Amino acid sequence: MEWIVLIIVGAVVGALGRLFHPGVDPMGWILTILIGIASLVVAGLVFDNSVLTFVVGIIVAVVLVALVGRVVGGRGGAPARLGS
């Protein structure tokens, strides 16, 4: 039962992370859920309060969305030019 709650809340946190991050995010809903779950795990390791964990999880999700967006967004485009 905890896994189902973690997936549902992770999806909400990941969606809120994408909502609060400006710009286009080149990722699907599965990656959004994984980012939300990862951010809740990180926030849960730091804080014991569930409300504080949720808020910090959203902040961590915004950061993770930005980082993953840069990595995923860099694929499929023109190759980087080195030295010029």
Residue 13: give the domain boundaries. 2-21+29-72
Number of domains the chain contains = 1
State the pLDDT at residue 17.
82
Q: Is the residue at 80 inside a domain?
A: no
Please tell me the distance from the alpha carbon of residue 71 to that of residue 73, in angstroms, as a whole number.
Answer: 6
Read off the amino acid at residue 24: V
Collect the ranges in the chain with pLDDT lower than 50.
77, 79-80, 84
Q: Is the residue at 81 inside a domain?
A: no
Residues 58, 16 contacting (CB under 8 angstroms): yes
